[in-house]
Amino acid sequence: MRNTKVVSLEEAIRRSGLKDGMTISFHHHFRGGDKVVNLVVAKLAEMGFKNLHLAASSLSDVHAPLIEHIRNGVITKISTSGLRGELANEISHGLMEEPVVFRSHGGRGSAIASGELHIDVAFLGASSCDELGNASGCPRSENAKSICGSLGYALPDARYADHVVILTDDLVAYPNVPKSISACDVESVVVVDSVGDSSKISSGAIRDSKNPRDILLAQQAAKVIINSGYFKDGFSIQTGTGGASLAAVKFIRESMIEKGIKASFALGGITAHMVKLHEEGLIGRLIDVQSFDKVAAESIAHDQLHQEVSSVEYASAEHEGSAVHALDIVILSALEVDVNFNVNVLVGSDGIIRGAIGGHPDTAEDSALSIIVCPLLRGRIPCVVPKVTTLITPGKGVDVVVTEYGIAVNPLRPEIAGRLKAAGLKVVDIHDLAAKATSIIGEPDALPFGDKVVGIVMDRHGKVLDQIRNIVK
Amino acid sequence: MEMKNASAGTLESGDIMIQIAPTDKEGLQIDLTSSVADQFGKQIRKVITETLEGLGIDKADVKAVDKGALDCTIRARVTAAAVRATGKDVWK
């Protein structure tokens, strides 16, 4: 077999035809362990590229080296689902001239598919790849160094980018099947020492909580689900990564066993908790856009009923076939919820960007029942507020807010409020929750926002939803 | 009031660490570092000042490192630090 695709990173970049001002893309399946973004951007800087648009599915703490590349003019625009750590802090203080464009996972998939977000060159890490470019997030040889499972966020990039470079730390013999990314979409394959540290996939947002308040919130959330009217045989469910929403799965499991109810599928970021329920026969299928820990990644490697989906198939608003349209129940977390049920998951109450939109607005809008679980206060920071710092998920898609001081139900869903009251749950007015928070902490002073727009939040339909301004220090 | 160096509190989330030291300067010198300084800095300084004045202390160096403590916690930590600094037990 004549092999022309396997080349050095520098040669792959040269071949791609990348020019100053173009758009490069990355996926974040290795989350806090990602090594591809820093490696590729350092090489682009070394080769003298300037003015590039970095369009990642998300960015985290580990991407702090981008700060230097932004200062040096290598990267002048960023599109992402989220930002964390020092990079987020610098950007919040006005590091970039152009605002960062934030999209949900479904919104990013739609924007790539429609051409609104055009990718010139995609640099996609894979745990295994053959020399023709068939790539997977699963290990396929004894020499495998990494595993990330689903490559769901990389699939639109692979399909729609003009040029695709796969980076892998395990080049295997053809054919690398089952594949996630087809060789027909791939132009170059680059072998690197490491694409990512798999042990850090479950870092960042995901916490397994022993906090008694989280467990109380989880119990309340489980009671809401069980009494919501949607908890019946064949239901479907998605959970976020907050400690309470993960803990809620445990209580739902007990009730499923007791009542003899089984779920048809679990969606989204798949965790070890969901894999366990699936293996016990309580959940029929796992529909996985992102494997949130090593157990989930290993499951997708071996289990036919654990299926990878692209971010378009997962959560696109523009594609009627996307999975969120079939989703019954979603449990989500929040940094802030306001009295109109609007949610912020991106910007902290100190005005600093510290999170990611993820699939929050996608699942909230399209699911039959969306439940936000958050404490009333985190330290002195209120989570139920008069008005969110930044609007991410509009309140019309948010049905129930669970706090340790009571459960608020969106007035648009009186039938759910009725069912929860009938079950003896403490249903309260969300204005009372906000007032309770203020009575404990006092009135916060206004944040010192400046005049510079550092971020633009796009809604999942491609319209501007909100702006994030710089924090003055 | 006679005073020695003393402290109370921790650097845990939701707590505040208060260190009190004697000073030659007049008044309360409050050096505050807080994770919620923008929203609650003024309120935290007010609670510290009122608590110390209520205990008859109007001259001290106070270093406060706040991790989002509520007012009740701030009052408790300031009171404990003041009692340790002055040796005057306010709870008897």
* Whether residues A248 and A113 fall in one domain: no
Residue A169's domain comprises 9-200
A2 is a domain residue = no
Global model pTM greater than 0.90 = yes
Q: What ipTM was assigned to the predicted interfaces of this complex? A: 0.88
Task: Answer yes or no: do A440 and B68 touch at CB < 8 A.
Answer: no
Q: What is the CATH number of the domain that holds A351?
A: 3.40.1080.10
Taking only the tens place, the pLDDT of each residue in A127-169 is 999 999 999 999 999 999 999 999 999 999 999 999 999 999 9
Instruction: Determine the 3-state secondary structure of A289 from DSSP.
Output: strand
Residues in chain B with CB shorter than 8 Å from the CB of A445 are: 38-42
Same domain, A187 and A266: no
B 8-27 near A (Cβ less than 8 A):
13-14
Same domain, A134 and A275: no
The reply to whether A280 and A258 lie within a common domain is yes
Distance from CA of B53 to the nearest CA of A (A): 21
Q: What is the mean pLDDT of chain A?
A: 95
**Which residues of chain B have a CB within 8 Å of the CB of A436?**
none
Q: Assign A243 to helix, strand or coil.
A: helix
Contact: B43, A381; criterion CB under 8 Å: no
Q: What is the pLDDT of residue A206?
A: 54
**How many beta-carbon pairs under 8 angstroms link A with B?**
42
Q: Which residue of B has its CA nearest to A448?
A: B38
Q: Give residue A337's pLDDT band: very low, low, confident or very high (50, 70, 90).
A: very high
Number of neighbours of residue A17 by Cβ within 10 angstroms: 12
| Residue A103, in any domain of the structure | yes
In a domain, A462, yes or no: no
Task: Kindly state whether residues A133 and A54 are assigned to the same domain.
Answer: yes
Q: How many CB atoms lie within 10 A of CB A258?
A: 9
Q: Is the pLDDT of residue A211 over 90?
A: no
- The answer on A240 and A108 residing in a single domain is no
Instruction: State phi, psi for A349 to the nearest 5 degrees.
Output: -70, -5
- How many structural domains are present in chain A? 2
pLDDT digits (tens, 9 = 90+) for A364-399: 999 999 999 999 999 899 999 999 999 999 999 999
**A301-329 pLDDT tens trace:** 999 999 999 999 999 999 999 999 999 99
Amino acid at A410: N
The answer to whether residue A205 scores a pLDDT higher than 80 is no
Mean pLDDT of A465-471: 98
Q: What is the pLDDT of residues A427-467, one digit of tens each?
A: 999 999 999 999 999 999 999 999 999 999 999 999 999 99
A166 and A36 in a single domain? The answer is yes
| Same structural domain, A188 and A217 | no
Q: Which fold has domain B6-86?
A: Ribosomal Protein S5; domain 2 (3.30.230)
Q: Could you tell me if residue A112 is inside a domain? A: yes
pLDDT of A354 higher than 70: yes
- B40 contacts chain A (CB < 8 A): yes
Mean pLDDT across the stretch A332-338? 96
Does residue A83 belong to any structural domain of this protein? yes
DSSP labels, A183-238: GGG-SEEEE-S-SB-GGGTT-TT------HHHHHHHHHHHHHHHHSS--STTEEEE
Contacts of B47 in chain A (CB under 8 A): none
* Domain edge (last residue) among A176, A200, A224: A200
Q: Where are the domains of chain B?
A: 6-86
Of A200, A222, A252, which one is at a domain's C-terminal end?
A200
Which positions in chain B touch A440 (Cβ < 8 Å)? 70
